[in-house]
Copies of this chain bind each other. A is one copy, B any other.
Amino acid sequence: MARFFMAGTNILGGMAIMRGRDAEHVHVLRMRPGEDMIICDGQGTDYKCRLVRADKEQVEAEVIEVVPCPAEPSVKVTVLCGLPKGDKTEYIIQKCVEAGASEILFFNAKRCVAKPDMPEKKLERWQRISEEAAKQSGRGIIPHVGWAGEYADALNVAVHTDLALFMYETGEREKLDEVLNAHKDIQTAAIVTGPEGGFAEFEADLARMVGLHVCSMGERILRCETAPVVALTATMYATGNLS
């Protein structure tokens, strides 16, 4: 079923009035009166609506049912990634939104090669990728995508969640499944992954000191754009959000 976020919509007396880009989109889809669509408020609530009238400028639809969006996971996961080069950021955003992330933030780490210059345009582009992926996968929110800042800023975000996971390739680590199985009832979590060159040792030490769980995901070395998706999928699976 066609799915829209409510940015350009007002709900008034049981009717949804849609204008702007979304109204154009309904027009392009050649939707006819009587057809159903879902308008999501972007905060986890779906309005199931039946189209009454549509032209290029304005769409009117009757609200049939209001339900919590079934695609939203029970745990809010913030994915924090050391800024990678090129289009890997876009890949991470798209796949993590599909896999259920609530927020995706990038940060500058010791071994980042990409320049941490964040022009407004880039942030807007990231947010647009999130919106597209959220629509496509049926999410109830548009996950926020942003710039966390330096490594310490990222740690600061992570420590304020119920379970902060730090993915690391060497040294003393906990097993990801043991950590997740011991924290089944979390409401929030953070997943911290490194840039192309991985984390510096002092970064892993700092993470451990402030209470993050430094975890291994087995002996296979995952690319910097693969690790967040795999860790997020494991978290969703372990908390019952993948079935």
Q: Which residues of A contact B (CB under 8 A)?
A: 70-71, 73, 95, 98-100, 136-139, 175-178, 215-223, 226, 229-230, 233-234, 236-238, 240-243
CB A172 to nearest CB in B, in angstroms, measures: 14
Select from chain B the residue with minimum beta-carbon distance to A72: B219
User: Can you list 24 contacts pairing A with B, beta carbon distance less than 8 Å?
Assistant: A70-B219, A71-B218, A73-B218, A95-B229, A98-B220, A98-B221, A98-B222, A98-B226, A100-B218, A100-B220, A136-B221, A139-B220, A175-B243, A177-B240, A177-B243, A215-B243, A216-B243, A217-B243, A218-B236, A229-B230, A229-B233, A230-B242, A233-B234, A234-B242
User: Nearest Cβ distance between residue A136 and chain B, in whole angstroms?
Assistant: 7
* Complex contacts, A176 vs chain B, CB 8 Å: 237, 242-243
Q: In the complex, what residue of chain B is closest to A174 when comparing beta carbons?
A: B243
Q: Measured between alpha carbons, how far is A98 from B217 in the docked complex, in Å?
A: 11
**For residue A238, which residues in chain B have a CB less than 8 angstroms away from its CB?**
237
Q: Which 10 pairs from chain A and chain B are nearest by CB?
A: A175-B243, A71-B219, A70-B219, A233-B233, A177-B243, A71-B220, A137-B220, A176-B243, A137-B221, A234-B237
Q: How far is the CA of A241 from the CA of B218 in the complex (A)?
A: 7
B137 and A222 within 8 A (CB): yes
Beyond A98-B226, A139-B220, A178-B243, list 18 extra A-B contacts (CB 8 Å): A70-B219, A71-B219, A71-B221, A95-B229, A98-B222, A98-B223, A99-B230, A136-B223, A137-B220, A137-B221, A138-B219, A138-B221, A176-B242, A177-B242, A218-B243, A229-B229, A229-B233, A234-B234
Docked complex Cα distance between A199 and B241 (Å): 23
Chain B residues in 8 Å Cβ range of A218: 71, 73, 100, 236, 241-243
- Cα A80 to Cα B177 in complex, Å, equals 26
Q: How far is the CA of A136 from the CA of B227 in the complex (A)?
A: 13
Name the B residues within 8 Å of A219 (CB-CB).
Answer: 70-71, 138
Q: Give Cα A217 to B99, complex, Å.
A: 10
- Which residue of A175, A178, A236, A237 has the most chain B CB atoms within 10 A of its CB atom? A237
A236 partner residues in chain B, CB cutoff 8 A: 218
